[in-house]
Amino acid sequence: MTYTLDEARARDAADPLRPWRERFHFPLTPEGDKVIYMTGNSLGLQPVSTRERVLAVLDDWSTLGVEGHFAAGRRWLDYHRPIADRMAPIVGAQAQEVTVMNSLTVNLHLLLASFYRPEPGRYRIAIENHAFPSDRYAVRSHLAWHGIDPDDGLIIVGDDDVVADATMDRMLKGAGDSLALSLLGGVNYYSGQLFDIAGITRAVHDVGGLAGWDLAHAAGNVPLSLHDWDVDFAAWCSYKYMNAGPGGPSAIFVHERHSDRPRLSGWWGHDIEERFTMPDRYKRASGAEGWQLSNQAVLALAGLDASLDAFEAVGMTALHAKSQELTSWTIGCLDARLAGRIEIITPRDPHHRGAQLSVRVLGGDGRKVFDELASRHVLCDWREPDIIRAAPVPLYNSFEDAYVFVERLAAAMDLV
């Protein structure tokens, strides 16, 4: 296979998803060209339709005021519901198992409050090595909240950049009856490794634990089947691969079998038919909606609503097919141009990764290389101590983007 600019352009010409690239706003260089944007794993680009969707909410607010809750063109009272319905297929859930609310770590805390119920002998929580720091902070705080020494109660699975399936299985089974719960990243933020969510969930259940997932880097990136995989609970943000905008709303999944589980309550989780009668006694809404606390940030929901148009039109099957091809081709370009000068820590097996590639510069100052790359109008992101993360996102990145990224990375390394 050849890895040339001509080959990249030929692949782009044959790409059925190519028209979607024009439905996103790219940052521009001082010369007015699109930057090479390879950081959709951190913040997705803005869909062209977002402005119109947000302005519609602003217009309703300006003309209706508080009456917008019931009289807006799309009333605010249940603005989130069609969004949750559209999101459910993306994560492989039944509609009532998903709702949209809050931000990611807030939702993880709420879910942990429901699902982490330590008992004598069964009190430990498992996370993966290189778990996102916020997850680690949240888990340690729940252990401490229950009077458990976090250093004793926390199980860190693996000790390398990538955690082998066998290592994960062995450590979870080794925890045995002490394991109360796991909270793992579906796709690890640092390495880009996609875990075997179905297999790990089974392993956790086999020892009597509950399986929770942080899907911040998985939702909208890789196909998911949360209901069929028997996942207990999950949460994710919407501003990475889902392109909902900075700080976009989070969403949760709660398997239908847990619909009666205890939870912290607030009035927006009350049954919608009686919510505005302001009863003294709480009657929780059915399904995942019963975990809601407060009224929604409708302006933020409008951004998420716009972003879901693409997922509904294209579907995860087609998105993932292009993602696998584009990411594999990017790896080929890196190997052809920079063999021996970089290390790709992300698994090469496409079944164990999504769009993100985590690259370590060998024999040089990776941070200086990253800064030089940015000066050449390539936007990736940096993770300490030595990782450049680049994500060729199938909705808006092209094969030419991937080729230019590698060429400019090589030039940056030559200069530094």
Coil, strand or helix at 217: coil
- Kindly state whether residue 392 falls inside one of the protein's structural domains: yes
| Domain end (from 290, 313, 336) | 313
- Kindly state whether residue 204 falls inside one of the protein's structural domains: yes
- Only one residue has tokens 């990017």, namely 330
Residue 35 DSSP label: P
Residues 148 and 227 in one domain: yes
Q: What's the pLDDT score for residue 277?
A: 87
Whether 416 and 372 have beta carbons less than 8 Å apart is answered as: yes
Q: What's the pLDDT score for residue 291?
A: 97
Whether 251 and 99 have beta carbons less than 8 Å apart is answered as: yes
CATH code, domain with 149? 3.40.640.10
- Enumerate the β-bridge partners of residue 127: 156
Question: Range of 376's domain?
Answer: 5-34+315-415
- Kindly state whether residue 44 falls inside one of the protein's structural domains: no
Residues 307 and 320 in one domain: no
For 355-378, give the DSSP string: S-EEEEESSS-HHHHHHHHHHTTE
| Domain end (from 282, 313, 344) | 313
Q: What's the pLDDT score for residue 416?
A: 84
Residues 59 and 160 in one domain: yes
Helices and strands (DSSP H and E) totals, the chain: 13, 15
- Kindly state whether residue 49 falls inside one of the protein's structural domains: no
Residues 261 and 362 in one domain: no
What sections of 176-210 are H helices per DSSP? 197-206
Whether 206 and 173 have beta carbons less than 8 Å apart is answered as: yes
Q: What's the pLDDT score for residue 276?
A: 85
Residues 260 and 278 in one domain: yes
Residues 63 and 194 in one domain: yes
Q: What's the pLDDT score for residue 1?
A: 78
Q: What's the pLDDT score for residue 363?
A: 86
Residues 23 and 111 in one domain: no
Query: How many independent structural domains does the chain possess?
Result: 2
- Any idea of the CA torsion for 1, 382, 45, 108, to the nearest 10 degrees? 120
- Kindly state whether residue 143 falls inside one of the protein's structural domains: yes
Is residue 154 within a helix (H) or strand (E), and if so which, with residue range?
A: strand 154-157
Residues 325 and 298 in one domain: no
What sections of 315-398 are H helices per DSSP? 316-338, 366-375
Q: What is the pTM of this model?
A: 0.96
Average pLDDT for runs of 10 along the chain of length 416: 94 98 98 98 98 98 97 95 97 98 98 98 97 97 98 95 92 95 98 97 97 98 98 98 97 97 93 88 93 95 97 97 98 97 97 97 93 97 94 98 98 93
CATH code, domain with 394? 3.90.1150.10
Residues 64 and 197 in one domain: yes
